[in-house]
Structure 1
Amino acid sequence: MTQKQQLKIGISIGDLNGIGAEVVLKTFEDERILEFCTPVIFANSKVLSFIKKHLNIDLQFQGISDLNKIIDGKVNVYNVWKENVNINFGTPDTKVGSYALKSLEAATEALKNKQVDILVTAPINKNTIQSEAFNFPGHTDYLAKELQGDSLMFMVSDSLRVGLLTDHVAVKNVASTITPQLIEKKVNSIYHSLEEDFRIRQPKIAVLGINPHSGDNGVIGKEDEEVLKPTLKNINNNGKLVYGPYSADSFFGSQNYKNFDAVIAAYHDQGLIPFKTLSFGNGVNYTAGLSRVRTSPDHGTAFEIAGKGQADETSFKQAVFTGMQIFKNRKEYKELTKNPLKKQPRRKERK
């Protein structure tokens, strides 16, 4: 791939008191990645110079004030603000949170305007970023509004893909939130993402039960019997290979997840605890269902190690490469739908 064809990776810097800037800078410290993409970090070059000096990171970047002047094959820092920011690693700070929002807003606008091809978001502190402009549980809901899509939190790695029926919903509200309409919507989103974003023909999807032991035929809650099972049966009758509900407590330990292209969990911790146990450090948070591609590492701000040089950049680096692969897959999928007689790749079987 020549430099002129390189994908532009827009990067929101996240909470500057956390490990976000560290994993971003460490990722591009390896210059070989610049053979595949051109990063554009939405932040401030003076602040990043301070952080890289503090952490002894050997990285050269080019500060720019115009997105039309992005330099291919170089690390670009688009100066979203001019003033200095007081950095106190590991400390929650609403002022610093406001700069995380400035970065996210600018990067999202550039994504909408196609000035960057992909958005990779460094971790935010969901408390300090809150304001009149950002009243969301996290990135996913914010991007759904800005990019006008049915967003879906989709955790992906080489060996496992986990989607959620409900994401940032209080446990006490999970059962009442899950309706036949929601189930169908989430299944359709994941099914389409597997086809378009991951190029899997006729994907197989497993759905985990809402209650312990999937309700034990109604003994432990009736939601699985009355809502989940009939809805999945209807979806399956319409031609999609969707199975369940499976008892969540044994599904991952039995290795059953390896028989499916994706797993849908009923709620946040039911899906993310096993995902992070099996894939932590290599997993990626992908927001499916949007018109543009957004990925993120599978970790948070990690205030407890911020500024100590201990952060592992593997997940952020994987988020960059996953975003590029999904962008490529989407392009190929669109070309295929325009020319349906073109030979499709064979279905990738789960090992």
Structure 2
Amino acid sequence: MEATDKIKVGISLGDINGIGIEVILKAFNDKRMLDFCTPILFGSSKVVAFYKKEVAPNIQIQVISDIKQVVDGKINVLNVWKEDVEVSPGHSNEIGGKYSFLSLKSAVKSLKEGFVDTLVTAPINKENIQSDDFHFAGHTEYLESELKGSSLMILMTDELKVGLVTGHIPVSEISSAITEDLITQKVKVLYNSLIQDFGIERPKIALLGLNPHCGDNGVIGKEDEEVIKPTVQKIQDGGKLVYGPYAADGFFGSKAYKNFDAVLAMYHDQGLAPFKSLSFGNGVNYTAGLDKVRTSPDHGTGFDISGKGMADESSFKEALFSAIEIHRNRVNFKELTQNVLKVSKRK
């Protein structure tokens, strides 16, 4: 793939009562965005029009009824459903959940079938989307069930990448979930992602401890001494540059993260709370480890500001650019490694 090729980016609308459609339209209100990709919004031209008249009245959309009708250089809106839908900005309800899933399901189908190259997802509400068809804790878990590979949630900026050993699980279950096998698996996914997705030849990764002060040699919990430290040693013995465990408070407070290519936190808020404090509004949620590329902005549905024209599109733009860059990196990595194999066989 040449650097100038247009990448087809599938975009799910998220909760139709949240800020997802607003940030999407605001991002593409800048016509230069179409120089980088061909966007396909999966949803309804009527729902998009509801927000368009308020936040981007001059934007032009291309309404299509089949994914094969996509037009380059246009903002394509694929009508996934035909019925009229009541849009209620700022309200979490069953309608918002139902149609956010229909949008996501259709986008993922086109991703799997190769009609779009990457996926960018607008935020869903994890409660109202639950149904007989969607019984997952979030996007990451759903995508892992639909795509090939083992997923790893990474929140990232240019300066900081934070992955999670455990994702959307209750705090009461974290300790029992953290095992040598799980840590080893997540390190492997993160390590490989840093190589193929970000072009880092020999990644350097920091692992955070589980307990305060990494357990203080067993005084405050034994997981760090009995599970995490021995696992880190085994991974190091295998040749990877993985270090830790580090106490999370001092690690972020001292900016030690700047010495590493990525950080692996033991649980959701341990990694995401400092990440969002440092980077909120400019961060990107990336689902690593799968055979397809998916990113999203680092914020939620924003019901409190939905419909008020206040939503900031910066994080969505970053998610879009990241999806494009990671896709190109993967294509280049695949070409390079395939060429190496061909040369080796000839020799």
Q: What is the TM-score when the length of structure 1 is the normalising length? A: 0.95
Give the structure 2 partner of residue 347 of structure 1: none
Instruction: Say whether the 8 Å CA contact 2:26–2:56 is kept in structure 1.
Output: no
| Separation in structure 1 between the aligned mates of residue 209 and residue 182 of structure 2, nearest angstrom | 15
Q: CA deviation at 1:18?
A: 0.4
Give the structure 1 partner of residue 248 of structure 2: 248
Structure 2 counterpart of 1:25, one-letter code: L
SS where residue 243 of structure 1 aligns?
strand
Which structure 2 residues correspond to residues 176-255 of structure 1 after superposition, within 5 A? 176-255=176-255
Give the structure 1 partner of residue 273 of structure 2: 273
Structure 1 counterpart of 2:321, one-letter code: F
| Separation in structure 2 between the aligned mates of residue 128 and residue 50 of structure 1, nearest angstrom | 21
Give the structure 2 partner of residue 164 of structure 1: 164
| Separation in structure 2 between the aligned mates of residue 84 and residue 46 of structure 1, nearest angstrom | 8
Q: CA deviation at 1:57?
A: 4.0
Q: CA deviation at 1:84?
A: 1.3
Q: CA deviation at 1:5?
A: 2.6
| Separation in structure 2 between the aligned mates of residue 221 and residue 57 of structure 1, nearest angstrom | 57
| Separation in structure 1 between the aligned mates of residue 102 and residue 50 of structure 2, nearest angstrom | 19
| Separation in structure 2 between the aligned mates of residue 55 and residue 331 of structure 1, nearest angstrom | 35
Which structure 2 residues correspond to residues 33-112 of structure 1 after superposition, within 5 A? 33-112=33-112
For residues 112-159 of structure 1, what are the alpha-carbon distances to aligned partners after superposition, in whole Å with 9 as ceiling and x for unaligned? Answer: 000000000000011111000000000000000000321110111011
Give the structure 2 partner of residue 26 of structure 1: 26
Instruction: Say whether the 8 Å CA contact 2:17–2:306 is kept in structure 1.
Output: yes
Higher mean C-alpha displacement, 2-11 vs 142-151? 2-11
Q: CA deviation at 1:253?
A: 1.1
Structure 2 counterpart of 1:292, one-letter code: K
| Separation in structure 2 between the aligned mates of residue 56 and residue 236 of structure 1, nearest angstrom | 52
| Separation in structure 1 between the aligned mates of residue 79 and residue 85 of structure 2, nearest angstrom | 13
Instruction: Say whether the 8 Å CA contact 1:3–1:35 is kept in structure 2.
Output: no
| Separation in structure 1 between the aligned mates of residue 51 and residue 226 of structure 2, nearest angstrom | 54
Equivalenced residue count is 342
Structure 1 counterpart of 2:202, one-letter code: Q
Structure 2 counterpart of 1:218, one-letter code: G
For residues 69-103 of structure 1, what are the alpha-carbon distances to aligned partners after superposition, in whole Å with 9 as ceiling and x for unaligned? Answer: 10001100000001111111111111221010000
Give the structure 1 partner of residue 345 of structure 2: none
1:155 has 2:147 as partner: no
| Separation in structure 2 between the aligned mates of residue 266 and residue 187 of structure 1, nearest angstrom | 11
| Separation in structure 1 between the aligned mates of residue 340 and residue 163 of structure 2, nearest angstrom | 29
Q: CA deviation at 1:54?
A: 3.0
User: Could you say if the C-alpha distance between residues 259 and 57 of structure 1 is closer, same or farther in structure 2, counting changes exceeding 3 Å?
Assistant: farther
| Separation in structure 1 between the aligned mates of residue 243 and residue 303 of structure 2, nearest angstrom | 40
Higher mean C-alpha displacement, 93-102 vs 107-116? 93-102
Instruction: Say whether the 8 Å CA contact 1:55–1:308 is kept in structure 2.
Output: no
SS where residue 133 of structure 1 aligns?
coil
Unaligned 5+ runs, structure 2: 343-347
| Separation in structure 1 between the aligned mates of residue 115 and residue 315 of structure 2, nearest angstrom | 25
Give the structure 2 partner of residue 320 of structure 1: 320
Instruction: Say whether the 8 Å CA contact 2:55–2:309 is kept in structure 1.
Output: yes
| Separation in structure 2 between the aligned mates of residue 83 and residue 158 of structure 1, nearest angstrom | 42
| Separation in structure 1 between the aligned mates of residue 4 and residue 248 of structure 2, nearest angstrom | 47
| Separation in structure 2 between the aligned mates of residue 141 and residue 294 of structure 1, nearest angstrom | 12
Instruction: Say whether the 8 Å CA contact 1:25–1:57 is kept in structure 2.
Output: no
SS where residue 136 of structure 1 aligns?
coil
Q: Which runs of 4+ in 1 moved over 4 A?
A: 1-4
Unaligned 5+ runs, structure 1: 343-351
| Separation in structure 2 between the aligned mates of residue 280 and residue 178 of structure 1, nearest angstrom | 27
Instruction: Say whether the 8 Å CA contact 2:155–2:162 is kept in structure 1.
Output: yes
CA RMSD of aligned residues (A): 1.5
User: Could you say if the C-alpha distance between residues 258 and 128 of structure 1 is closer, same or farther in structure 2, counting changes exceeding 3 Å?
Assistant: same
Q: CA deviation at 1:2?
A: 9.0
| Separation in structure 1 between the aligned mates of residue 144 and residue 334 of structure 2, nearest angstrom | 22
Identity, in percent, stands at: 59
